[in-house]
Each structure stands twice: as C-alpha cells, then as structure tokens.
Structure 1
Amino acid sequence: MHAHHRHHDHDHAHGHGSATRTFAIATLVNLAYTALEAGYGFATNSLALLSDALHNLGDVLGLGLAWGAARIARRPPTARHTYGWRRATLLSPLANAIVLVAFAGALAWEAVRRFAQPPEVPAVPVMAVAAIGIAVNLGAAWLVHGGGHQRDLNRRGAFLHLMADAAVSLAAVLAGAGMLWLGWAWLDPAMGALVAAVVAVGSFGLLRESFDAAMDAVPRGIDRAEVEAFLRGQPGVRAVHHLHIWSLGAGEVAMTAHLVRPDPGDHDAFIDRLNHALDARFGINHPTLQIEHGQGCEHDRHVRAPHGGH
C-alpha cells in the first residue's frame, strides 16, 4: 500500500486574519446601528423599527459568532485537535440559523397580536432610520463578501443575512411612506410580519446547509459521483473504495480515497498530479489518497456483502 496526503496551503493565517478584521468591523458597525434603531423604535412605538432592530441584533449575534469562529479557526493544530479549529466556521452558521429561526417565530407572534389594533406611528422617523439601515447593511455586506470567498460558509451566511437586512430596511422605508401618505397604520405590524417571513426563509436554507456541513456531508457544488468517476478514469486505476468528501471549514475541502492500482509505476508522481487535478477541477484541496496494489479492498467487500451491493 502507498498513501499520500497533500496540504494545499492558501496562506490560511493571512486569510483568517483578514476574515477576523472584517467580521470585527461589520459587527461593531451593525451593533451601533442596532442600538440607534432600537432607541427610535421604542420612542415611536414602531414595530417596524423594533422588528428590524431585533433582526439586526440577531445578525449582530451571528456576525459575532462568525467573528469568534474566524479567530478560533486561526489556532494551529495540536496533538488532540489534529485539524486545528477550522470547523468552528461550520458550527457558527448553525448556531446563527437556530437563533434566527426562533427569532422569526417570536416576531411573527407579536405582529399578529398588533394587527387587531395598530398603534399610531410617526412615519418620518421610521423612514429616516430605515434609510440609514440600508446604507449600513450594504456597506457591511460589501466588507464581509470580500471577493473570492464563495466556498466559505461562514462568510456567505453573514453576507446573506446582511443583504436580507438591507432589503428589510428598504421595505421599512416603503412602509413608512405608506403610513405618511396613505395613513395605513396596519403597515407597521405588516412590516413586522414581513421581517419574520424574510428571516424564516433566509435562515432555513442556512440551517439546512450548515447542518449538512456539521454532519460531514459532501459540500454543495461537488458531485461525489463525478469525483468517483474522475478517479476511476485515471491511468491504471481499477477501482475506488472508501471515498469520503467533507468540508473542513472556510473553503477547505478534504477527501480520502483508496485507489486500486496494481500496475507498477511512479505512484508518488501519479498522486501529485492527481492532487493538483482534484484542486483545480473540484476545489478539493486536502486530499489523502491510498494506493492499493491488490485487485480489491477486502474490508470494502465485507462492508458491502450484507447489503448485497456497492
């Protein structure tokens, strides 16, 4: 047998340091705006502003979790935690999504309660504060996105929430305009219900994807069958066993596989070429490949036998 692992280093320390600064700035800016919006919400008794402030507070907590996860992910591997703490960037979105789902339910309940007798709300402060929120959330989303981080679930979760915040703030401006010009007081609780719906829809996708990542599912965007077919198609490879693909966090994808390759040859050179190809084609940058010289994998046959198939 011949095993080889390749660690594809993208200057992780620098990348995580940049992510930490980004989350710090976005968190602090959004926390300041949340305090401003909540203050005006209480002063005007506006559920639209209070719901948006609570929504922003949920995202501030999410950004704080992402910030903390980015810092923890910088810790080097140890004898006990051999992969380091990168998976913190997978657990952070999961916790964020759970908090937001709970928040959506509470907000929807309050909105329904207020529909029976909507309070009078001054529209101009609602419009002004919500307009500030559009600028704050778009600016923070631009910082978090950063470019080139499409595979970072931690950043993408924060980015999607900030964009949802900007959309909700825009809806609050429109609701304020409706209350000002048309006298529709029901728009205020309707805005609260809209925020609850936006949060519920947005957080469900993040909850599902972050749960999959925490359970070592194959990352979205990677087709396991396609990877297996690619490996089977390599020169001299007779079979592929024990193929596992999972996310380590922050755009790092790991893979293990046993390749049955009985023909003699330069297996080191073969594995090096294959590792580069896996990274370029699938984004798998932490592959561990084991070459087997026999015709099959005895352990794999024992595992498959009770089920009668592959």
Structure 2
Amino acid sequence: MSHSHTHHHHRHSPVEGNRNRAFAIGIVLNTAFVVVEVVYGILADSMALLADAGHNLSDVLGLVLAWGAAWLAGRQATKYRTYGMRKTTILAALLNALILMVAIGGIGWESVRRLMDPAPVAGQTVIIVALIGTAINAATMMLFMAGQKEDLNIRGAFLHMAADAGVSLGVAVGGALILWTGWLWIDPILSLVIVLVIFMGTWGLFRESLNLSLDGVPSGIDPDDVKAHLEGMTGVEGVHHLHIWAMSTTENALTAHVVKPDPDDDDAFAQTIHDRMRREFGIGHVTIQWERDTRQCPDV
C-alpha cells in the first residue's frame, strides 16, 4: 500500500500588500472617527452618537482581530502545529460574527426601548457627524469588497464596515426626517430595519464560519460530486474514507482512500487527481492513500 500526498500553494486574494493596506487604513480611519463621535457626542449631549461610537469601537476591534488572524495564517508550520495557524482566520470570522450579533442585539434593544418611549433627537450636529461616519465606513467597506468574495475572514471585516455604514446612515436619515416631521418614532423604526438587514448578512457569516470551525465541508463543494469525480477516473474502482475540510478561509483540503488495483504510475495519477480537485472544486491540499483491494479497508 502506498501513500501519495500532493500540495498546492494557494495565493491569497487580495494580495497580502493590498490586504495589509486595507486593514491599516480601515483601522486608522475608524479609530479617528470614534474619537470624533465621542467628542461631539459629549458636546451635543447625544446618547445616539455615544452609542454609535461604542458600535464603531467594536468594528475597530473586529478589524484588528481579522488582520491579526490573517497575519497568523501566514506563519510557517511547526513540529506541533503541522498546518501552521491558518485556522485562526476561521476562528476570527466566527468571533466577528458573534461580535456583530451582540452589537445588533444591543442596537435592537435600544431601538425597542426608544420606540416605546421616544426621546428627543439631537440637532444638526448629529446628522453631520453621522454622515461623516457613513462616508468613512463605506470607504473602508470598499477596501474589502474584492477579497470578501473568496475569504470568509475578509468577509467578516467587510460585513462589519457595511453594518456600521448602515447604522450611521440610519442615524443621519432618521435625524433629518425627525427634524422635518417631528415624528420621534422614525429613529427607532429605522434602527430596527437596519438591525434586520445586518442580521440577515451576519447569520450567513456565523453559520458558515461555525461549519468550517467544526471541519465541515466548505460551502460550494458537494462531497458526492467529488466522490463521483474520483470514481469516474480510469483505473479507480472505489473511493471511501473521503474527508473534505477547510484549513483556512481560503484553503481547502481533502483526504481519501482510493482503490486502484494497478500500482503503475501512482505518482503521476496522484498529481492528476490533485490538479482536477484544484481546478474543479478549489481543493488545493490533497492526500491520497492507495488501496489495491477493497477488502483491506472496508468502507465504514
């Protein structure tokens, strides 16, 4: 029985330099805005601005968390951490989702409380500061636009910024409508709508990151299709003990026992399997254990 293990070195998207720049710019801009919100929140005696400052601070922490995980994922493997620390990107995405859940829970609670007991909204200062926050968070969100499609960790940072931009815009729009109509219930209603929108995006992030943290099959990969593809290759009589999981938010791995009675060209055949798994399913780390007889390892 022989063992073949092939590797593919995955190139992260966005590239590391652009990713680091995006995180650095996002952290600096949002930290500066937190300070601005606190100062003007105190000057305008606005609890709305102070609460939004707290929400923005959680986003800064989320960016720091995602950046730290991306950096750790790039560290070399060691004798005791044979995969390195790639999985920190998955854990960071999960923690980011949990932080967002807590944040929208707090916003939702405060919105319900204000709906039952509407409070006067601060004046024009609140609207101006909220619009500045919307611009800053939208700009930061755009920095992660490309990478969030392929990297769950980057997606967590993207959703954080999108959520904050939505909250800030809601504060500004609500403030303007209230100043125009005098209807104090507009602010909490808008906040609840924003909470619902954020929750819908965050739930997907939470579910997917939780699945990957438990070594579930990454979304977009059908294990039945993978097995059928392997079994359909010339010379293969069976496939079992098939395992597919995520090593990080950008790298997937596969191990399988492949029944191939003919021992000729094992190495070349393993490379063929690797190339097809990478091309067809985005699985870059493939480990194949050859078997010559199904009776040697029953399918359990």
- 2: CA distance between counterparts of 1:83 and 1:281? 23
- Check the 8 A contact 1:48/1:188 in 2, yes or no: no
Partner of 1:255, secondary structure, is strand
The aligned counterpart of 2:165 is: 166
Q: How has the CA–CA distance of structure 1 residues 4 and 160 changed in structure 2, closer, same or farther, with 3 Å as cutoff?
A: same
Distance 1:187 1:50 in 2: 19
- Which secondary structure does the structure 2 equivalent of 1:249 belong to? coil
The aligned residue for residue 59 of structure 1 is 59
Q: Aligned pair in 2 of structure 1 residues 194, 12: CA closer, same or farther (>3 Å)?
A: closer
Task: Indicate the residue corresponding to 2:238 in structure 1.
Answer: 239
7-16 vs 227-236, greater mean Cα deviation: 7-16
Partner of 2:137: 137
Unaligned runs of 5+ in 1: 305-310
Aligned to 2:255: 256
**Residues 77/214 of structure 1: CA separation in 2 closer, same or farther (3 Å cut):** same
Q: What's the CA shift for 1:123? A: 3.9
**SS at structure 2 position matched to 1:237:** coil
Matched position secondary structure for 2:241: strand
Deviation at 1:217, TM superposition (A): 0.6
Q: State the one-letter code of the partner of 2:74.
A: R
Matched length: 300
Distance 2:188 2:45 in 1: 11
Secondary structure of the residue aligned to 2:235 is: coil
The question of 1:224 aligning with 2:208 is answered no
C-alpha distance 115-295 of structure 1, shift in aligned 2 (>3 A) = closer
Deviation digits for residues 64-123 of structure 1 (CA, Å, limit 9, x no counterpart): 110111121121100000000110000011112222222322332222223343232234
- TM-aligned CA deviation for residue 197 of structure 1: 3.3
Instruction: Please say if 1:119 is aligned against 2:97.
Output: no
Offset of residue 12 of structure 1: 6.1
Give the deviation of 1:42 after TM superposition: 4.0
> Which AA in structure 1 matches 2:207?
R
Match of 1:279 in 2: 278
Output the CA distance in 1 between the equivalents of 2:113 and 2:147: 44
Q: Deviations over 1:190-240 (max 9, x none)?
A: 344344434433322222111111000101111111111111111111110
CA gap 1:160/1:31 in 2 versus in 1, 3 angstroms: same
Residue 92 (str. 1) matches residue 92 (str. 2): yes
Deviation at 1:148, TM superposition (A): 5.4
Amino acid of the structure 1 residue aligned with 2:223 = R
Amino acid at match of 1:281: E
Change beyond 3 A, Cα 1:297–1:152: farther
* Amino acid aligned to 2:60: V
The 3 A distance-change label for structure 1 pair 295 and 115 is closer
Q: Given residue 199 of structure 2, which amino acid in structure 1 is its aligned partner? A: A
**Offset at 1:36?**
1.8
Q: What is the root-mean-square deviation in Å for CA atoms of aligned residues? A: 2.4
C-alpha displacement at 1:51, in angstroms? 4.2
SS of the residue corresponding to residue 144 of structure 2 reads: helix
Cα separation, 1, equivalents of 2:85 and 2:28: 24
Which stretch shows the higher mean deviation, 288-297 or 69-78?
A: 288-297
Provide the rounded CA distance (Å) in 2 between the counterparts of 1:287 and 1:6: 6
Of the structure 1 ranges 77-86 and 94-103, higher mean CA displacement relative to structure 2 is found in 94-103
User: What is aligned with 1:307?
Assistant: none
Given that residues 217 and 245 in structure 1 are in contact (C-alpha distance below 8 angstroms), is that contact kept between their aligned partners in structure 2?
yes
Aligned to 1:70: 70
Comparing 5-14 and 24-33, the one that deviates more? 5-14
Partner of 1:308: none
Aligned residue in 2 for 1:24: 24
Identity among equivalent pairs (%): 45
1:76 and 1:16 mapped to 2: Cα distance? Answer: 15
Question: Which residue of 1 is the match for residue 154 of structure 2?
Answer: 155
- Counterpart CA distance in 2 for 1:71 and 1:21 is 13
* Alpha-carbon offset, residue 173 of structure 1: 2.4
Q: Take 2:134 and 2:106, find their aligned partners in 1: how far apart are those partners? A: 24
Unaligned runs of at least 5 residues, structure 2? none
Matches within 5 A, 1:178-189: 178-189=177-188
